[in-house]
Amino acid sequence: MPTVIECVPNISEGRDEKRVSEIAAAVRAAAGVRLLDVSSDSSHNRSVLTFVADAAGVREGVRALFDAAVPRIDLRQHSGEHPRMGAVDVVPVIPIRGATVEQCVALSREIGAEIAERHKIPVYLYEDSASSEKRRNLAEIRKGQFEGFAAKMREPDWKPDFGPDSPHPTAGVVAVGARPPLIAYNVNLGTRDLAVAERIAKSIRHLGGGFRYVKAMPVELADRGQVQVSINMTNFRKSPLHRVFECVRSEAERHGVPIVGSEIVGLCPAEALMMAAEHYLRLERFSSEQVLELRLLEE
């Protein structure tokens, strides 16, 4: 099986289309890289690039990204609603096929070391790559943001994993780490009562006693006259789509509310949908080797 690793770097530029497209073009041109998506948010002033490659390709893509982004983004001039600490803010490295979490952790360390060496940018390893429990959580690392990092880095707890002991003057710092694929998944309920969505969100999310790898919140869909449970699945292999869906269904039923539909926002790995088909059809001995299109991805 050929290796498929996904990389979804977030950069602190979401308004200047020319700059974003120059940076995207640099990534697209890197050897072995398939750039699948670029989404910019102007109120966040931030863009998310999605590309896939094998390990060598991810290294090439990230190198091209930094070479293009560092001279083009000056955090001293940056404002936006989303918290940020770097010109390239975060580089998630995500195993999809033929790569283990361990291999992606090792890859993230190589990438981190290279960024620090090449651009003199401090690097924090996060999520599965974190060097301490405290650094698993990106929000924890990012606290203080770009403006606060010079002070934060003087604390012994916040010495970076790679690179200098003070932020890069224009590019700040960056978090790099391996993590499972994220799936943005919403379930729409046949009611206008936001309190029902709120109770269900609470019951399924980790913080409320629900699934370990589920974050959820209620959202009003005014135009549809419905409410939504908006879900972030941070590890669909351990907290799968169908299990969360069934839990939402059971909780909604208890309130006499039907599920009208659900939606996957953006990209998701085939495995997440295969797992649902496997569950509901009660498939025995099923293997993704049996899926014609997935066989075509093999060498």
Catalytic residues, by residue number, are 82
Give the residue with the Cβ less far from its own copies, 101 or 259: 259
Task: Decide if residue 6 touches its own copies (CB under 8 A).
Answer: yes
The nearest distance, CB 263 to its own copies, in angstroms, is: 5
Q: Which stretch binds its own copies (CB under 8 A): 24-32, 83-91, 169-177, 288-296?
A: 288-296
Determine contact, residues 240/222, Cβ cutoff 8 Å. no
The footprint of its own copies on residues 48-107 (CB under 8 A) is: 52, 96-97
Task: Decide if residue 221 touches its own copies (CB under 8 A).
Answer: no
The footprint of its own copies on residues 175-194 (CB under 8 A) is: 181, 188
Give the residue with the Cβ less far from its own copies, 140 or 253: 253
Give the residue with the Cβ less far from its own copies, 153 or 200: 200
Alpha helices by DSSP H, 170-240: 194-204
Give the residue with the Cβ less far from its own copies, 194 or 270: 270
Is residue 13 packed enough to be buried (19+ CB in 10 Å), middle (13-18) or exposed (0-12)? buried
The H or E element containing residue 241 is helix 241-254
Nearest to 119 by CA among 158, 91, 157: 91
Give the residue with the Cβ less far from its own copies, 42 or 290: 290
Q: Which stretch binds its own copies (CB under 8 A): 13-21, 22-30, 199-207, 257-265?
A: 257-265
Task: Decide if residue 19 touches its own copies (CB under 8 A).
Answer: no
Characterise 127 by phi-psi region: left (phi > 0), alpha (psi -120 to 50), beta (else): left
Count other C-beta atoms under 10 Å from residue 14's C-beta.
22
The footprint of its own copies on residues 102-161 (CB under 8 A) is: none
Alpha helices by DSSP H, 16-144: 17-28, 55-69, 101-119, 138-142
Characterise 36 by phi-psi region: left (phi > 0), alpha (psi -120 to 50), beta (else): alpha
Q: Distances from the Cα of 131 to the Cαs of 83, 160, 163, 223, in angstroms?
A: 22, 10, 15, 46
Q: Using CB under 8 A, pick the residue from 31, 36, 151, 207 that binds its own copies.
A: 36
Please give the residue ranges that form the binding site for its own copies (CB under 8 A): 4, 6, 34, 36, 52, 96-97, 181, 188, 241-242, 245, 259-264, 266-270, 273-274, 276-277, 280-286, 290-297
